[in-house]
Amino acid sequence: MKINAAPASSLSIGDKFYINYFAIIDCQFKIVIGNDVKIGPHVYLGDFDHVPRTAETPSGIGNFKRIVVEDGVWIGANSVILKGVAIGSNSIVAAGAVVTKDVPPNTVVAGVPAREIKSLKR
């Protein structure tokens, strides 16, 4: 498990949080993780993207957008959560999914890119 947080970034992690081995949280802007969130092995969360290095972007870091993972979310092994995504409460991200857009609460998503495969009754 590795957590990178840039000096000016904002990383918030709630209670009863679990992160498995070789998972990475890479925060350059803002990541908010709620309570009772479970993150499987080899998961990546990154709130930025990369661009070619130029005089304007010497670091190679491009756009920043926050990530929000609400309470009770389970993120399966080898998943990728990209910048600008909000994952609604009590949702499940299936193993290997690449989440590129918001996930409604009580939803199971899977695939590349991730799409809704099931609604959970709560």
CA distances from 87 to 32, 34, 44, 60 (A): 10, 10, 14, 27
Q: What is the rounded distance in angstroms from the CA atom of residue 28 to the CA atom of residue 106?
A: 28
Q: Which of 2, 5, 18, 50 is catalytic?
A: 50
Look up residue 57 and give its DSSP letter: -
Are 59 and 24 within 8 A, CB to CB? no
Q: Name beta bridge partners: 2.
A: 24
Are 45 and 31 within 8 A, CB to CB? yes
Q: Name beta bridge partners: 80.
A: 44, 98
User: Is residue 42 annotated as part of the catalytic site, yes or no?
Assistant: no
Residue 6 tokens read as 């840039």
**Where in the sequence numbering do the catalytic residues fall?**
50
